[in-house]
Amino acid sequence: MTPRPLPSADELLDGAVVVSLPMRVRFRGITEREVLLLRGPAGWGEFGPFPEYGDDEAAYWLQSAMEAAWQGYPPARRSRIAVNATVPAVGPERVADVLARFPGASTAKVKVAEPGQDLAQDLARVRAVREHLPNVRIDANGGWSVDEAVRALTALTADAPLEYAEQPCATVPELVEVRRRLPGVRIAADESIRRAEDPLRVVHAGGADVAIVKVAPLGGVRRLVALAGELAGHGVEVVVSSALDSAVGIATGLAAAAALPELPYACGLGTGGFFEADVAPALHLSEGALDVVPVAPEPDMLDALRADPDRVEWWCERLRRCRTVLAGRGL
């Protein structure tokens, strides 16, 4: 069968909707999440690169949205995906309320190294989480220097081990050094995988035990599955995570997790609870897992969440630029 031609920018924008999703808590420094949703013959796709990303990087997000809406997903190997709770940089008194949005989860990812906060606040947050859940992983988003990471991770593992520490430092050489100085702490790479031209560089350098992989920044489900296969050849396991996606993007992440041959960790795909409203009803989390099901936005929800006209124009122009970038790559 001849592959379906990939759509032009005009075809992509025919029926596209830009939405602004209000958030319950500040995350990545924002309180509203904007994404552009595409509708194609295979379903819905999500184009939502963060505003600070340049067109070359954002084009991978468009490639992922085109795959979802015009090609569909590879076959699934499982129908349910275990997910972790995600705890933003809140005070310990708010931890129980956050965890209540993740019924049955046994693993939590805790944000640390938040600008304006200190290690004492990180320790208090992690201790509060450990009162409720047995497995804790932390995410510093590259916020520490090597010395800060060593000091923080030593303190954070004094009472109990971490499942892993995600992106404690920003650069690959720093991750290598932290891993050398703290051989008992598993290091996970996130930004060093999804924001690098060569996502295997951190692995070849010896800077990661685990790779956090997100569908949109990698260019789609098939590209993620292929990368996971390469990483497995180096002894590195993967965790599929959300890029603060709407319900449409979460469905794509679940499709990726379902397609992987092995899935040893809970995935970071339970982030729908951070939105006050979404384009489709939230997937039902039970026993710490989500079902792998297709998701289509509901028309009344789309209408209620439509972005302002100036933001719609901004996103449409961005899509056109990114489609030109993909054309230059032969897509």
For 124-158, write each residue's pLDDT tens digit.
999 999 999 999 999 999 999 999 999 999 999 99
Task: List, for residues 150-202, the tens digit of each pLDDT value.
Answer: 999 999 999 999 999 999 999 999 999 999 999 999 999 998 887 767 888 99
Mean pLDDT value of segment 29-58: 95
Tens-digit pLDDT profile for residues 321-331: 999 999 999 99
Residue 2 has a pLDDT of 47
Indicate the pLDDT class of residue 9, thresholds 50, 70 and 90. Answer: very high
Q: What is the pLDDT of residue 1?
A: 42
pLDDT at 238: 96
Residue 4 in this model has a pLDDT that exceeds 70 = no
Q: Provide the token pair at 158.
A: 């004094």
Per domain, the residue ranges of the chain are: 9-72+299-329, 80-291
pLDDT at 26 over 80: no
> Which bin fits 72, alpha (ψ -120 to 50), beta or left (φ > 0)?
left
CATH fit for domain 80-291, picks 3.20.20.120, 1.10.287.3510, 3.40.50.11540, 3.40.50.720:
3.20.20.120
Residue 44 has a pLDDT of: 98
Catalytic residues: 111, 214
Q: Which amino acid is at 173?
A: P
Tell me: is residue 190 an annotated ligand-binding position. Answer: yes
Tens of pLDDT, residues 208-264: 999 999 999 999 999 999 999 999 999 999 999 998 999 999 999 999 999 999 999
DSSP 285-296: PBTTEEE-----
pLDDT at 205: 94
Say if residue 15's pLDDT is above 80: yes
Nearest partner of 67 among 40, 97, 49, judged by Cα: 40
Average pLDDT along the chain: 94
Judge whether 166 is annotated as a binding position.
yes
pTM reported for the whole predicted model = 0.92
pLDDT > 90 fraction of the chain, expressed in percent and rounded: 89
Mean pLDDT over 275-301 rounds to 95
Q: Does domain 9-72+299-329 have CATH number 3.30.70.330?
A: no
Residue 3 has a pLDDT of 55
The yes-or-no answer to whether 9-72+299-329 and 80-291 have a common fold is no
Scanning the chain, the segments in alpha helix (DSSP H) are 9-13, 55-66, 95-99, 119-130, 146-156, 172-181, 191-194, 201-204, 215-218, 221-232, 247-259, 299-305, 309-328
